[in-house]
Structure 1
Amino acid sequence: MLRHPPVRRLARPLTAATAFRVQNPRRTLFSSRNERRSGRAVENLNLQRLSRQSEDYYRNRRIFLWSGTVAGFISFIYTAWKLKVALSNPTKLDTNLPSSESLVAPGAADRKVVVHDEEGREIVPTGNSTVPTFPRTIDLPSYTSPITTTSPTSPDAPTTKQMLTSASGTTEYTLVGLGLRTVTFLGLQVYVVGYYVATSDIAALQSALTRKVNPIATTLVPSERGQLRAALLDPAEGERTWDELLAAGVPARSAFRVVPVRDTDFHHLRDGFVRAVQARAGAETVADDAFGESMRQFRAAFNRGSVPKRKELLLVRDETGQLSIAYDGGSSKKEGGSAPGRQLVGIVEDERVSRALWLNYLAGKKVASEPARKNIVEGIMEFVERPVGTVASQVVPVVNVQA
């Protein structure tokens, strides 16, 4: 006889609430999340992925900006360098001559170079194509005659009737050193300046500088010359040395020859000279009424027009410290024409003006032309290595002016 399996009975009847809980179990902390995802986009966001994408974006953005900054800076430097080279007009007039050249003895690269022009006159290359050479010696007359001024307030009016070529007697000046004055960070070339000392006064300069190092010597040995060179190149010691020498009238007669390498004007040159004099003279001197009157005389001498390139401006200091300013505008006519020649345009008797102007080139922390200052010192080293008074065979060093 077949038996039916026993029917299992529920202990409790299945209600509607129980059936809902069975179909929709309550989610707890340890229960697994339903793997089904909603179709809404907000529930599909991955915050870590978005954070990584944001970091990558800003990192790439920083790299791009820094790359542009570096590239722009390099381009600026390269453009400035190319502009400087283009404006400098570099030439081959330098000391890097091969040993086969007749100007340099074989195996003597440290020897100085003597160059002669077509007329046999000694000249010194400057390294600049616009003003390629400076004369080794110049003859200047005595600057003692008064200035006849017609109208100092008019820039177009003539300031003097005196011609320097008509002065009685001349004095030979020997070039000690020269260099190029540049301005701005681009190194724009303004003029070539050379320092000349009356040939007969070089012995006094030799003696004074030699005694500064060795009071009983007539010439300096290499170690003593090195000591003197370091003193002259030192900003404080060099300014103190030159200030004492100039105040004592050593050298008695000297001159600075300024030749522009580009067109300029007297007002531009005047402003630079005035700033230099006021900076070197000191506050007490500048405040002095007599010094102020001397500076007005100095400005009046530059109350003129333009100064074309290659024209000569002379600043001459005599044994009393008097400053004479002369200008040679040249002539467009050929030889035989009425060339004006060197013309005296102003005189300043106050010794403090010329001394401050001289210090602007010779010594101090900041000079008008560092190449000129260094070359002047090297020229002085050529003097002191010879016995006092024996500079007839002195050879002025060739200057290699950097572009």
Structure 2
Amino acid sequence: MNPSARLHRSLFRCLQCLHQRLPPVANSKHILRQQQQQQQQQRHISSSRRLLLSSRPDSITRHRLDAERRAYYQRRVYYAASGALACMVAIWVLATSVELPPNAEKNDASASSAEALGGKDVVVVNGREAEEVSTGTSAVPSFPKTISLSNEQGTKTEYRLLGLGVRTVSFLKIQVYIAGLYVAESDIPALQAALIRQLPSSAADERERLREMLLDPEKSEEVWSRALKSGGFSTLWRIVPTRATDFMHLRDGWVRGITSRSGSKSAITGAGDEYGDEGFRTS
């Protein structure tokens, strides 16, 4: 064997030995990665131990936390007690300082009581048939059908009930008073004649025709206006309140009624300009 071939063989054996002793590159990287992971785990475990050791309160910290908790609950008790005391004081102030309105006094008028009208005594005539007329209200259940009124000379005149109505206010239909219209018994024929004169001459049944005219809202106003303008009979109004009132509703009702009728041209036939007179406005 020549020397060159021997040299090549020796080099080949040396390379084989080196290859067997040295690990591959991939294995070395895997080993390095495992070592790094182990180091990270060790650092994490050590930091966790330090955190657990630091989170454990000592005796001084525990006492401080207990003191803060007690102070918190004491403040809550103080606030609740202050609120309850303030409410009691407010109730006491309202009960002692605010003036409550007095209890409403029931001043319902009775149908049997004597009334004074213009300084004259009104006497209800008893002992007659159908002496009371139902009003349809509970406060004043009935109206006398006949009353007696004394004049200045002391002469008594008997008046007979012609009709009545209930005055209501607001959309609740609160009953305020009852008004009844009376006419003197001696003047009833004059009133009947004044009403019959307004009927057409061709009317067959005067009573039924007059009833229809009086029940009609527009015609009845014209009929009564002409009858009152003709005169010749005495009338009387009897007004009884159904509850405690100062008659402000009565005054307002009269004012509104007079204003609406005086402003309408066709309210009263043949009225002319009498409602535009300055004397009527001042009165």
Return the TM-score normalized by structure 1. Answer: 0.34
Higher relative contact order (CA 8 A, sep 6+): 1
Q: Tell me which structure has the larger Cα radius of gyration.
A: 2
